[in-house]
Structure 1
Amino acid sequence: MNKAFLASALLALTGLYASAGLAAPPADAGHDRVTPDMIQTGSDIPAHWKQPEGNFDYTRREVMIPMRDGVKLHTVILTPKDAKNLPIILNRTPYQADGCAPNNSPHLVDAVWSGMKAWADGSFIIACQDIRGKYGSEGKYVMTRPPRGPLNPTKTDDTTDAWDTTDWLVKHLKDSNGKVGMIGSSYDGWTVVMALLHPHPALKVAAPESPMIDGWMGDDWYHYGALRQINLDYFTGQMTARGSGQSVPRENYDDYTNFLEAGSAGAYADAHGFKQLPWWNRFAAHPSYDAFWQLQALDKLVAKHPSNVPTMWLQGLWDQEDIYGAIHAWEALKEAGHGANNHLVMGPWWHSQINRDGWHIGPLKWPGNTTAQFRQDVMVPWFNHYLRGTPMKQPLPEAMIYNAVEQHWDRFNDWKVASRQKRTPLYLQAKFGLGFETPAGGSDSYVSDPAKPVPYLPRPIPAHDEDRWRTWLVHDQRFVETRPDVLSYVTPVLTKTVTVQGAPIADLYAKTTGTDVDFVVKLIDVYPGTVAGDPTMGGYELPVSLDIFRGRYRKSFAHPSPVPANQVQQYQFRLPSVNYEFKPGHRIMVQIQSSLFPLYDRNPQTYVPNILFAKPSDYTKATITIEHGAQGRSAVLLPVVAGTED
């Protein structure tokens, strides 16, 4: 810029001040003089910004790792400064690898998210990777991409991607010791299990946490055929953008109202553009447990293709999203003779709480931070044993399951799989009683009205209320006990402890005036009317185990059939496993109902080929009758520890 231009600019400014009736700045005021260094004609954002990291205790780099088909996957690698001979912790995710270390801190332990803090003490290299088609990775995204085979005719899947990634890491990270451990929760846990179907030789240890294993039988999408319709938000959030998509917009604050007004789940999806999603179209075409679901059920696949990798299967006792997967995969492996290198861990947690603080779940408070203590005392030492060869203070048992009543971990060297557990019937009795003695006879009825479904939480139920969603499985059930469409059976006050270890089985004999029906069965611990030291727990009805079953699948999950109206049918289904003690002074309750809304879609109670697309005219009231006499002794079959029946 030349001097003549500066002079003319100053004259113009003086004229502006004069026209406004203001005194012009003194011409000789040096501190008001415009000089060339004050004027920027380009952008104030540099083309390339390099943050000084001299005080960082780690280095962060991003690489694109090539897969066997040429697709490159975005990977964030966090390496402690002065690293030497360190093992690698690998996490593969659809939720953005950059989120592995979201905080700009010079200290690795402060930079990573809570789920990585146990591995950020400077003794591990951390690698986080976007799976193909998501965020920074190339390729096409397919929801829980099935293994290569009938459902996936390509030459790649998340098994090969994990293999190729591990191979690249051990060859290119010169500061590593060539050993890799995999962790991940939920979908990330699914990627761990996929890696185990054909693990790279460098994969020495793995921990799938609350993994998605079978989306139809009891994880994210269905439970025994009943659709978890509030998860439809996940479809748009995951598949309407390469990064993070948006949830479904809401007309009302209360999701109970939103889903009720929409009608069927299919009508709700159609109204919000789901036909644009290839996954939804495949999903909606397979409402029953056909080959589409069976061929990607990972519990079956890991049993068919077992690995020798020491594996810790983790889940929460009150996991509100994936309570099915970990224990069923572990059981399948044990049944197939591969229990030696597979261990089961069930903590007093909600879904993925293992990666956060574990002081409490809802009103249940623990004497310490159960998750941090477990990571520090068990999980990290166990990983170190296989990644570094360091000895453990004591071997990991076959199963570690938290005792929520006594508030400590129980260690089992022989936790029996569900098919081998002995069970004692806890029978429904007359006058809504409950007991181990054979019932005298009788039945009880209620009217199930799809226009007034039973809520799974007290209304209103706003979308995306994380605190309530995480803890709904421990919510006090008194809010539905007095509804006429909920039957509550309860024992007398217990005089001694009843200990239950294993999977309860709901065994109902019932008839309906409709041609289809759902059953929700809840096993509940009823607290005494007053609780010393914690008055808010007085009379609390704590769910210990519950699930839902769609009646059309009573004979076959793959081949549904109408329920014959007014004929008693048996409905038997497994409830989530427990390690629980019903204490003296408490009572045991069983609640039965036919809806759990809007978490699950409504059964129209008229048999239709695909409930997802039931018409408004299909939804009809039905009278449900539960038998506890000559036509069938309904019960919950409990895996009671011998000698503790009251």
Structure 2
Amino acid sequence: MHPLLRLGIVALAAGVVATPAVGGEKTYKDLPTEIPARFTPANPGFDYERRTIDIPMRDGVKLHTVVLVPKGATHAGILLTRTPYGADGMGHRSDSPHLGPALRGYDNPADIIVQDGYIRVIQDIRGKNGSEGDFVMNRPPTGHGNPTSIDESTDIYDTIDWLVKHVPESNGKVGIIGISYDGFEAMIATIRPHPALKVAVPINPMIDGWMGDDWFHRGAFRQQMIPYIYGMVNSRQSNIGWTTGYRDDYDLYLRGGSAGDIGRAYGMEALGFWQKLLAHPAYDSFWSDQALDKIAAKEPMTVPTMLVHSLWDQEDNYGDMAVYRALAPRDPGHEKLWLVLGPWRHAKTWENASTIGAIELGSDTGKTFRQTMLRPFLAQYLKDGAPKADIAPVNAFVTGENAWRKLDAWPSSCRAGCAPTMQRWYAEPNGGFGTTVPAQGEDAYVSDPAKPVPYRVRPIQSWSHGVADREDSWPEWLVDDQRQFATRTDVLTYVSPVLEQPLGVSGEPLVHLLASTSGTDSDWVVKLIDVYPDEVEEKPSMGGYQLPVAMEIFRGRYREGYDTPKALEAGKALPYRFPLPTVNHVFQPGHRVMVQVQSSWFPLYDRNPQTFVPNIFNAKPADYVKATQKVVRDGEDGTYVELPVVR
């Protein structure tokens, strides 16, 4: 057979038509695609079924939802998480046919889901990833800065309503759980809830973005969150990444100028949430109206809720405790509210939690929480016929002692409600710290915005760098050894004598700072630190370690009110009052108690120019000036920290 004839027969058989071309050569139509219009995986050996559904909301918007049903499930409870981080990725792992490995990773209590046979549901929130609609960062409830009839609560209501009607393997009982932004979703679900919502577990939730969660702390802007804001708001898929040529964020933010200048350099004026931040640097109604602790305090308590707080939470260490303070007085019978305080960083609860940084905790505290607290709590409300969970109203891990305590209320040191005693510890002459009222005097340092105090040892990498990205891990920076900062001349250090008896503290330490500045605005950072003995026989590397127990920043312009920024009177000693984050710690004999005071914490927080300007986001280079800071000792009216001491 002629070769050209043979080629034509083969081409016809393949569905390809050859046509003459210039020079006698042949050209061909495109080969047909080898990808089918729709492919359904056979999933051999899988112990669960994966369903993806676009669930319609009351306004017609459809939300992308992943439903994972264990094989053979009947009358199973549903465990829901709503997220801006991609439902498909949180409920998928291609290298295993088993549900447990498929759920490994962020915001999935995989062991509990598998053990108790829950139907796992993960949903993209409105406007993110596979869901339709418009994205609003932490969309507040209707009537609280939200003039529409649609909010996260209505979306959750409509989702639960669809699930209980269209997932035949379920028993009609739904729980919601989530960490951080997903924890915000779990908390907001309790506002006007669906009757089928039986339990909620907000873990490290975003509650009040100005007072002490992601965006500000007591007025100081957390500028290392700029890349997060950039990534969350620049696209539905969050697939336009933050790029920088700097190894050290200290250099990036110092050379970038004000936080507003950095945003402008990255084109962030096009991002709606960024514009809101620039327009609302103070605690005005924009923030206070949407603070979930304030909203929840005015709503009926109908959903049993377990708040989970991390004692070293580097992102959201304010909100869950604010919710507890708001709701606990309304639940004297311990019927709707539970609290867990664990020795963790943000989002550590699903991992092995036997250590945090260099600190050994004596056991896997994450597993203890999941198996002895969370698992029976969820089962009581989601499993048919499950017994009532035997869980104390408050389960609090004591750091420094490495033990769990069961309590009836917080703060307390015993099951019977032994309240702490607020004990004054004074700044003393020559860097002392103790309970004796000191003589009058003052200690001074120069704060230079051109050389701000780093919040950790440099090089400082981006907030997004986790355990796998650097050996000391950004997520655990709150337990970094503080001795490097005590050597700086712009950090004041006060330290007690060696303790002869254990000193337990439970609750919020209160800072009473009497201080002056030569400028007209100032930040004040106060750190409560546990100083280890110079020699630690069982672990020599801990010798002299300065372990932060609680640290916080306060922006001086808000001294008279968080909603009313005012210039400070230069050179005048003024009182500043603010709490440190929640502690539950024992300073052991042989240790010392230390307090450090400084005026910058960079680059996590933006620099205070130390010249009063209407909006620090718009501060100009000439506004940044050196200032002489003085911490004043004035007997009982001077500088001290009230420690919530327990016996």
Query: Normalising by structure 1, what TM-score?
Result: 0.92
For 1:515, the equivalent position in structure 2 comes to 520
Question: d(CA) in 2 for partners of 1:640 and 1:392?
Answer: 37
Residue 259, structure 1, aligned to residue 249, structure 2: no
Pairing partner for 1:154 from 141, 148, 152:
148
Pairing partner for 2:64 from 64, 70, 74:
74
For 1:116, the equivalent position in structure 2 comes to 109
Pairing partner for 1:382 from 377, 382, 394:
377
For 2:213, the equivalent position in structure 1 comes to 219
The SS at the match of 1:313 is: strand
Cα contact 2:453–2:602 (8 A) shared by 1: yes
Deviations 1:243-274 (A, max 9, x none): 12334321321110110001100001011101
Residue 359, structure 1, aligned to residue 349, structure 2: no
Question: d(CA) in 1 for partners of 2:175 and 2:585?
Answer: 32
Cα contact 2:446–2:627 (8 A) shared by 1: yes
For 1:445, the equivalent position in structure 2 comes to 444
For 2:402, the equivalent position in structure 1 comes to 407
Deviation at residue 406 of structure 1 after TM alignment: 1.9
For 1:465, the equivalent position in structure 2 comes to 465
The SS at the match of 2:646 is: coil
For 2:97, the equivalent position in structure 1 comes to 106
Deviation at residue 334 of structure 1 after TM alignment: 1.4
Deviation at residue 542 of structure 1 after TM alignment: 0.2
Question: d(CA) in 2 for partners of 1:113 and 1:292?
Answer: 37
CA distance 1:129–1:425, change in 2 (3 Å): same
For 2:495, the equivalent position in structure 1 comes to 490
Question: d(CA) in 1 for partners of 2:9 and 2:384?
Answer: 75
Cα contact 2:57–2:155 (8 A) shared by 1: yes
Cα contact 2:515–2:629 (8 A) shared by 1: yes
Question: d(CA) in 1 for partners of 2:104 and 2:36?
Answer: 29
Stretches of structure 1 that go unaligned for 5 or more consecutive residues are 11-38
Q: Which amino acid aligns with 2:527?
A: K
Deviation at residue 73 of structure 1 after TM alignment: 0.5
Question: d(CA) in 2 for partners of 1:357 and 1:2?
Answer: 72
Q: Which amino acid aligns with 2:279?
A: A
Pairing partner for 2:76 from 62, 71, 86:
86
Cα contact 1:182–1:192 (8 A) shared by 2: yes
Deviations 1:581-621 (A, max 9, x none): 11110000000000000000000001010011101000001
Deviation at residue 365 of structure 1 after TM alignment: 1.6
Deviations 1:113-157 (A, max 9, x none): 232312133611011100011111111111111111252111110
Q: Which amino acid aligns with 2:58?
A: R
Pairing partner for 1:639 from 635, 640, 644:
644
For 2:14, the equivalent position in structure 1 comes to none
**Residue correspondence of structure 1 range 585-596 to structure 2 within 5 A:** 585-596=590-601
Deviation at residue 439 of structure 1 after TM alignment: 1.1
Which piece of structure 1 moves more, 292-301 or 435-444? 435-444
Deviations 1:417-474 (A, max 9, x none): 99x8641111110110000111122110000000000000111112233232111100
Residue 534, structure 1, aligned to residue 539, structure 2: yes
CA distance 1:46–1:5, change in 2 (3 Å): farther
Deviation at residue 3 of structure 1 after TM alignment: 7.9
The SS at the match of 1:335 is: helix
Residue 525, structure 1, aligned to residue 516, structure 2: no
For 2:511, the equivalent position in structure 1 comes to 506
Cα contact 2:380–2:388 (8 A) shared by 1: no
Stretches of structure 2 that go unaligned for 5 or more consecutive residues are 11-28, 414-418, 468-472
Deviation at residue 404 of structure 1 after TM alignment: 1.9
Which piece of structure 1 moves more, 148-157 or 574-583? 148-157
Question: d(CA) in 2 for partners of 1:88 and 1:186?
Answer: 20
CA distance 1:77–1:8, change in 2 (3 Å): closer
Question: d(CA) in 2 for partners of 1:520 and 1:243?
Answer: 37
Pairing partner for 1:176 from 151, 167, 170:
170
Deviation at residue 275 of structure 1 after TM alignment: 0.4
Which piece of structure 1 moves more, 301-310 or 283-292? 301-310
Pairing partner for 1:619 from 615, 624, 628:
624
Question: d(CA) in 1 for partners of 2:579 and 2:270?
Answer: 36
For 1:49, the equivalent position in structure 2 comes to 39
Q: Which amino acid aligns with 1:138?
A: E
Question: d(CA) in 2 for partners of 1:40 and 1:356?
Answer: 51
Q: Which amino acid aligns with 2:343?
A: P
Question: d(CA) in 2 for partners of 1:67 and 1:417?
Answer: 44
Cα contact 1:403–1:409 (8 A) shared by 2: yes
Deviation at residue 630 of structure 1 after TM alignment: 4.8
Deviation at residue 208 of structure 1 after TM alignment: 0.3
CA distance 1:630–1:373, change in 2 (3 Å): closer
CA distance 1:447–1:381, change in 2 (3 Å): same
CA distance 1:443–1:350, change in 2 (3 Å): same
For 1:609, the equivalent position in structure 2 comes to 614
Cα contact 1:348–1:402 (8 A) shared by 2: yes
Which piece of structure 1 moves more, 561-570 or 117-126? 117-126
Deviation at residue 8 of structure 1 after TM alignment: 7.9
CA distance 1:550–1:611, change in 2 (3 Å): same
Cα contact 1:508–1:634 (8 A) shared by 2: yes
Cα contact 2:144–2:290 (8 A) shared by 1: no
Larger Rg: 1
For 2:22, the equivalent position in structure 1 comes to none
Q: Which amino acid aligns with 1:400?
A: N
Q: Which amino acid aligns with 1:101?
A: G
Which piece of structure 1 moves more, 354-363 or 630-639? 630-639
For 1:296, the equivalent position in structure 2 comes to 290
Question: d(CA) in 2 for partners of 1:394 and 1:102?
Answer: 31
Q: Which amino acid aligns with 2:537?
A: A
The SS at the match of 2:109 is: helix
Query: Normalising by structure 2, what TM-score?
Result: 0.92
Pairing partner for 2:222 from 214, 228, 232:
228
Deviation at residue 56 of structure 1 after TM alignment: 1.2
**Residue correspondence of structure 1 range 567-578 to structure 2 within 5 A:** 567-578=572-583
Cα contact 1:501–1:579 (8 A) shared by 2: yes
The SS at the match of 2:349 is: helix
Q: Which amino acid aligns with 1:351?
A: H
The SS at the match of 1:113 is: coil
For 1:16, the equivalent position in structure 2 comes to none
Question: d(CA) in 1 for partners of 2:115 and 2:86?
Answer: 22
Question: d(CA) in 2 for partners of 1:141 and 1:245?
Answer: 15
Which piece of structure 1 moves more, 366-375 or 325-334? 366-375
The SS at the match of 1:167 is: helix
CA distance 1:426–1:5, change in 2 (3 Å): farther
Question: d(CA) in 2 for partners of 1:6 and 1:46?
Answer: 29
Cα contact 2:198–2:304 (8 A) shared by 1: yes
For 2:52, the equivalent position in structure 1 comes to 62
Q: Which amino acid aligns with 2:434?
A: G
Residue 6, structure 1, aligned to residue 1, structure 2: no
Deviation at residue 102 of structure 1 after TM alignment: 2.4
Which piece of structure 1 moves more, 265-274 or 96-105? 96-105
Question: d(CA) in 1 for partners of 2:389 and 2:331?
Answer: 23
Q: Which amino acid aligns with 1:72?
A: K
Deviation at residue 344 of structure 1 after TM alignment: 1.1
Q: Which amino acid aligns with 2:431?
A: F
Pairing partner for 1:195 from 181, 189, 192:
189
The SS at the match of 2:189 is: helix
For 2:551, the equivalent position in structure 1 comes to 546
CA distance 1:122–1:490, change in 2 (3 Å): closer
Q: Report the number of matched residues.
A: 613
Name the % identity.
47
For 2:427, the equivalent position in structure 1 comes to 428
Cα root mean square deviation, aligned: 2.0
Cα contact 1:492–1:587 (8 A) shared by 2: yes
Q: Which amino acid aligns with 1:62?
A: T
Deviation at residue 40 of structure 1 after TM alignment: 9.9
The SS at the match of 2:607 is: coil
Cα contact 2:514–2:638 (8 A) shared by 1: yes
